[in-house]
Every structure is written in C-alpha cells, then in structure tokens.
Amino acid sequence: MKAKLIVSCLMVALTTLIYGQGFIAGVDKDQMDLTLLNRPCVVTLLSGEEINGKFGGAQEINGYLDKIVIKKDNGEKAKFEPEDITRLAIKASKVAKLTMMAESASSIKELTNANFDEIANREYIIFETALRSNKAGKPRLMQLLNPGFDGQIKVFADPNAKETKGLGIGGIKLTGGEDKSYLFVQNGEKAVLVKKGNYKKNFYELYQSCPKMLAAFEGEKLKWDDVAGHVFTYDQICK
C-alpha cells in the first residue's frame, strides 16, 4: 500500500513539471510545401526497406499528406500512397529544429535525462501512416508530435485543430498556437480525436487499461496544459 502511494505521488509530482503542452510544433498545413519541399528525407516501406532522397511534394486531402513524391538519390522519382509506407522522416531546417526544441525541451528535460537526447534533438519532422478518426478510417500520413515517448500512445497533429493565436515564420509556429485538439493512436487502431473540452472524459477512456495511471491522477484536476505530461507518464509506467 505504501509503495503504491509513493508511485502515485511520484507520478503526480512529475506531471506538475509539465507546462505548455510539451508536444513539438506542428507544421502549418498551408505552408507545408514551403517548409518541407526539397528537404532530405527517408521513407520506410512496409517491408522495412528505407529509401533516401528529397521530399518532392505531396497531394493534400483535408490537411493530410496523401500521395507523396520522393526524388531518389539516383535522380529517379518515386511515388507512394500512405498504404505503401509506415514512416516519412523529413530533415528539419534550422528554424524548424530550434522551434521544435523550444516547444518541449524545457518540460521534458525535467522528467528524464535518458530520453532527453531523443526527445530534444529534432533532426527530422516525422509523419507516420495511421487510420483517420472519421467513419471511413482511411490511412493518411499524419505528423507525429511526441517522438521519443510514443511507445504507448502516438499523438498526431489534427489538421483541423483550432488554436490560440501565435507568431509563425515560414510555416513553423514560434510562440503561442496552443492546439485545442490532437489525434491519439493506440495499438495501431483508428485515431481518436481528443479535444480540450472533452479531455476529462477522454482521459479515462485512454488510460483505463492502466490502473497505476488512473491511481496516480485520482482526485487531480485534469488540465489540458498537462496532456503531454500525461502521455509521457503513461509511456513510462504502463509498459
């Protein structure tokens, strides 16, 4: 009983260190070409094979990347559907890298030194194939916002998310821009739309399979600003 209490107190204490959401900055869907075009990239196929090249553009459907074009290192162009690949990693520009670090480093660093390099050194902007949250549930490439602590839950940018106003340069958010919704994926299932206004309800639905997680936050006020801390804590104690 005492050990359980200690674990619960520790998890609550850790999460209070999180502020300002803590996920990396999403790429502005209206500026994707400007931000990503001709950047070095790596495509991982379903077979596990990796293809290196430069990002040559993509068709956009409802804010998601659909058909993508890669300029291979040998000069050839290759086209892929989301169903063909599991991951698209695009080399971040200097501005993008600094922005992504600023979004999360200050909060995540307090929680773990072991994972900090992976979390803070944002070398790539990562997209992974997941099923949309709508009825059709078609596969789309979605931007991963929690690389480094995505073992239990993958958090993706919601292209239709409303957000607070912020300052942006070249498609990258610099200040403000707090997203009011995200797409959560567990166990490769269809994405779940998690909104700020419904987060308390979503919290218990998302973490109900882990009694330690629910016990750690029992009686606590569940704030949207702490959502990244909740995801990180779940990743660490519910493996």
Residues 131-163 have pLDDT tens digits of 988 877 789 999 999 888 899 999 999 988 876
Q: Is residue 208 part of a domain?
A: yes
Number of domain units in the chain: 1
Q: Does 128 reside within a domain?
A: yes
pLDDT at 17: 35
For the ranges 5-19, 52-66, 174-188, the one whose mean pLDDT is highest: 52-66
| Mean pLDDT over the full length of the chain | 78
Amino acid found at 175: T
Q: What is the mean pLDDT of residues 96-110?
A: 52
pTM: 0.79
Find the mean pLDDT for residues 183-206: 92
Token pair belonging to 193: 């739309």
Share of the chain above pLDDT 70, in %: 70
Domain hosting 165: range is: 2-36+86-237
Where does the chain show beta strands of DSSP type E?
40-45, 50-61, 64-72, 77-80, 85-91, 124-131, 139-143, 154-157, 166-169, 172-176, 181-185, 192-195
Please check whether residue 57 lies inside any domain of the structure. Answer: no
> Quick one: pLDDT at residue 148?
83
In a domain, 63, yes or no: no
The single residue listed with the structure tokens 């996920």 is: 23
Specify if 153 maps to a domain: yes
| 143 within some domain | yes
Check: CB of residue 7 under 8 Å from CB of residue 236: no
Axis-axis angle for helices 199-207, 227-237 (nearest 10): 10
Does residue 56 sit within a domain?
Answer: no
The answer to whether position 80 is within a domain reads no
What mean pLDDT do residues 185-202 have?
A: 92
Q: How confident is the model at residue 63 (pLDDT cuts 50, 70, 90)?
A: confident
